[in-house]
Chains A and B, each alone.
Chain A
Amino acid sequence: MKNCKTMFRVMFRCDLRDWSTLIFTFIFPMALLLILVFSMKGAVPGLDLTSQISANVIAFGAAYVGIFAGATHLATWRENGMLRVLRNFPLSSNVIILSQAFVGVVFLLAQGLVLTIMGVVLGMVLKPTALLGLLPLVFGYLFFFFLGVIIALLVPSMAGVSMLANIIILPLGFAGGAMMPVEMLPSWMQTIAPYTPIYHMREALSMMLIGSGTWPHAWLGLVYLAIGCIPLGLISVYGLRWK
């Protein structure tokens, strides 16, 4: 546990000092929220699009934090040789994954809070079940976190990891309805949307945060994410074990 705390401190400090982490964790989703709200606010008369867009962006932001939290440190350490140095320390590889996940959770919560406050300022109306929204956020975060770890294990350079993570997350965000309501997507995309993880994060989060959707859909989303986390988590832990 002490090692976990040490590694947490090292990674957290590194993230706080990294401009790209701060920009993509806070500035990018905030800008996305502003752009989407102001460009689509009155697109569908009678529908509270501000609340919906805010929930969508919070879900997408969590996925974004997750995939980069899983990939960044591992990829950087692998590239600069630190992973090999760590291999010679009396340190379990699970400690690295665990502390990396905790650092990401701190950024996830900070980002969620900032985006929620911003959404409320823009007109999002929260339901009393809003705190339950932490469930899809954390499960969705973990889903993408493990995906990030796997990407970092497969791709040998930080630039490659960053590119692949974006190639995965941006289309998934679009197809999952994070950028615009699923009903407004092309029909072929509407067909694949229910199979994407961000769709389920959104569905569950929208119901819990703003009361949009149905509870069965929300629970189904949580189950989808939880079940998805199991194989991805196992592959991550197995893939990172010291050989």
Chain B
Amino acid sequence: MSDIEVSVSDLTVRIKNKTILSHLSLQVEEGSFHGIIGPNGAGKTTLFTVLQGLRKPTEGTVQVLGTVPYPRNVALLRKIGVQPQQSSFFPKTTLREHLTAVADIYEVPRSHADELIDALKLDHVAATRVESLSGGEQQRLAIATAVIHSPRLLFLDEPTAALDPEARHNLVSLLKSSERLATTIVYTTHHLDEAERLCSTVSILADQHILVTASPSRLIAQAKMGSTILLPNALQQVDDVAQLVGPDSVRVTSDGLAIHTTDTGAAFAQLAASGINTHQAQVKDGSLEDVYLRLLEKDSVE
């Protein structure tokens, strides 16, 4: 069984009498790529600040790599890497100068800086001032800054939040080859498709606590999300379809008729037998996004 790298038990954080996190528990296993997803203001960044030892928990216990992160623990800081939401660098330095300075601070060979410049495809901008880098290059440099000392545990706080689609795609590809970055990665994101691709486990944070933790595939399977059949040419037959599969399973969308089913094969057979136009039909399986939305909906009702 893997070691537990992050262990949070019954954590409550109150800031100026406002409860941000309440009785939150979380465990992150060694070697996992653990995503924390949740709506804006759910407390993801607050949780990160507690895990990094920037904030004292109001109640509960927090252990990171077997030690307590607060108050500031220099021995722990040498083993973790942090990429904050907002990329920040030493002003008026070039990319290489910045990374070399960080290598010196961590007392690791300067060759680490060159290796990362190469690995993160930043060679062409190594002599460029940090202020002149594009958003994608800045995010990659921020990640290089966080991993230059080969940390055991890496925190990534919404690394793709401010990126255009192409830069986001490139960064996600980079993160996918994460064995080069750190042993264990904890990251937050708003992009659920990204979390589904990258994470070995995800925790959904809402209403001040973790609603569920599991692998994306397990979450989807457990939620019995089923599939959606999209019929672009059957809008005229909406009443027939509703009668066939039940009105609750049919939605009219801008792309056509959407039918929710747990048995795609049987649904197609039924539709064909009833003469419904299934030409150009598309099947979309349940996604992490569907699970997430359903969980949030359920949580808000409760």
Interface residues of B in 7-66 (CB under 8 A from A): 52, 54
In the complex, per-residue mask of B96-118: 1 if CB is within 8 Å of any chain A CB, else 0: 01000110111100000000000
Interface: A82 (CB within 8 A): yes
| Smallest Cβ-Cβ distance to A76: which chain B residue | B91
* Interface-lining segment among A88-96, A111-119, A171-179, A206-214: A88-96
Q: Which of A2, A13, A85, A87 meets B97, CB within 8 Å?
A: A13
Interface: A9 (CB within 8 A): yes
Q: How far is the CB of A162 from chain B (nearest CB, A)?
A: 15
By a CB distance below 8 angstroms, the chain A residues around B86 are 81
| Contact A90 B105, beta carbon cutoff 8 Å | yes
| Contact A81 B90, beta carbon cutoff 8 Å | no
User: How many B residues touch A, CB cutoff 8 Å?
Assistant: 25
Residue of B72, B104, B105, B107 ringed by the most chain A CB atoms within 10 A: B105
Q: How far is the CB of B71 from chain A (nearest CB, A)?
A: 8
Interface: A14 (CB within 8 A): yes
| Contacts across chains A and B counted by CB atoms under 8 Å | 64
Q: How far is the CB of A137 from chain B (nearest CB, A)?
A: 27
Interface residues of A in 57-88 (CB under 8 A from B): 76-77, 80-82, 84-85, 87-88
| Contact A9 B84, beta carbon cutoff 8 Å | no
| Smallest Cβ-Cβ distance to A84: which chain B residue | B84
| Contact A84 B88, beta carbon cutoff 8 Å | yes
In the complex, per-residue mask of B288-302: 1 if CB is within 8 Å of any chain A CB, else 0: 000000000000000
In the complex, per-residue mask of A140-181: 1 if CB is within 8 Å of any chain B CB, else 0: 000000000000000000000000000000000000000000
| Contact B91 A14, beta carbon cutoff 8 Å | yes
| Smallest Cβ-Cβ distance to A3: which chain B residue | B105
Interface residues of B in 230-260 (CB under 8 A from A): none
By a CB distance below 8 angstroms, the chain A residues around B52 are 88
Q: How far is the CB of B271 from chain A (nearest CB, A)?
A: 55
Q: How far is the CB of A4 from chain B (nearest CB, A)?
A: 11
Residue of A5, A84, A85, A91 ringed by the most chain B CB atoms within 10 A: A85
| Contact A14 B92, beta carbon cutoff 8 Å | yes
| Contact B91 A242, beta carbon cutoff 8 Å | no
| Smallest Cβ-Cβ distance to B83: which chain A residue | A85
Distance, CA A85 to CA B52, complexed state (A):
11
Q: Which of A6, A80, A242 meets B88, CB within 8 Å?
A: A80
Distance, CA A27 to CA B271, complexed state (A):
84
* Interface-lining segment among B74-82, B167-175, B196-204, B279-287: B74-82
Interface: A18 (CB within 8 A): yes
By a CB distance below 8 angstroms, the chain B residues around A9 are 101
- State the 5 A-B residue pairs at the shortest beta-carbon distance, nearest first: A81-B88, A6-B104, A82-B88, A17-B92, A14-B92
* Interchain residue pairs with CB less than 8 A apart (18): A3-B104, A3-B105, A6-B104, A7-B105, A9-B101, A13-B93, A14-B91, A14-B93, A80-B88, A80-B91, A81-B88, A82-B89, A84-B54, A88-B52, A88-B54, A89-B77, A89-B102, A242-B72
Residues of A within 8 A of B (CB): 2-3, 5-7, 9-10, 13-14, 17-18, 76-77, 80-82, 84-85, 87-91, 242
Q: With A10-B101, A13-B97, A81-B87 given, name 9 new contacts (CB 8 A).
A: A5-B104, A13-B93, A17-B92, A77-B91, A81-B86, A85-B89, A87-B54, A88-B77, A88-B80
